Amino acid sequence: MRAAIIDGKAIGAQMRAEVAEAAAELATKGWQPKLISISVGDTAAAELYVRNQQKQANSAGVEFEARNYPEDTSLEQLTGILQGLNGDPRVNGIIIQRPLPDHIPVKVLQKLVHPLKDVEGMHPASIGNIVYNDLALGPCTAVAAVEILKTLPLQLEGLNVTVIGHSEIVGKPIAFLLMGLGCTVTVCHHMTRSVAMHSRAADAVFVAVGKPGLVTGEMLKPGAALIDIGINRIETPEGGKTVGDADFASCAEVAGWITPVPGGVGPVTVATLMKNAVLATRMQMDHYRDAYARTDV
Pairing of strands 204-207, 4-5: unpaired
Contact letters (x/-) for a copy of itself, 104-133, by CB under 8 A? Answer: ---x---------------xxxxxxx-xxx
Phi-psi region of 245 (alpha: psi -120 to 50; beta: other; left: phi over 0): alpha
- As a whole number of angstroms, the longest Cα–Cα distance in the chain is 72
Q: Which is nearer to a copy of itself, 6 or 187 (CB)?
A: 187
According to the annotation, is 165 in a ligand binding site? yes
Sorted by sequence, the CB contacts under 8 Å of residue 189 that are 6+ apart come out as 164, 165, 166, 171
Candidates 94-102, 172-180, 206-214, 224-232: pick the segment binding a copy of itself (CB under 8 A).
172-180
**Are 66 and 54 in contact, with CB atoms under 8 Å apart?**
yes
Q: Which is nearer to a copy of itself, 34 or 198 (CB)?
A: 198
Residue 40 bridge partners (DSSP): 69
Exactly one of 179, 196, 283, 285 binds a copy of itself (CB under 8 A); that residue is 179
How far from 114 is each of 109, 193, 201, 276, CA to CA, in Å?
Answer: 10, 40, 41, 14
Contact letters (x/-) for a copy of itself, 195-234, by CB under 8 A? Answer: ---x------------------------------------
The Cα–Cα gap between 10 and 96 comes to 27
Q: Which is nearer to a copy of itself, 20 or 152 (CB)?
A: 152
Exactly one of 12, 41, 93, 173 binds a copy of itself (CB under 8 A); that residue is 173
Q: Which is nearer to a copy of itself, 187 or 215 (CB)?
A: 187
According to the annotation, is 166 in a ligand binding site? yes
Exactly one of 48, 191, 291, 293 binds a copy of itself (CB under 8 A); that residue is 191
Q: Which is nearer to a copy of itself, 19 or 177 (CB)?
A: 177
Instruction: Tell me 286's DSSP state.
Output: H
- Determine, following the binding rule CB under 8 A, whether residue 248 of this chain makes contact with a copy of itself: no
Sorted by sequence, the CB contacts under 8 Å of residue 46 that are 6+ apart come out as 39, 97, 98, 99
The Cα–Cα gap between 246 and 263 comes to 14
Of 267, 266, 280, 270, the residue nearest 23 (C-alpha): 280
Closest contact distance (angstroms) between CB of 4 and a copy of itself is 24
Closest contact distance (angstroms) between CB of 183 and a copy of itself is 8
Contact positions toward a copy of itself, by CB under 8 A? 107, 123-129, 131-134, 157-158, 160, 166, 168, 172-173, 175-176, 179, 182-189, 191-193, 198
Tell me the binding residues for NADP(+). Answer: 165-167, 231
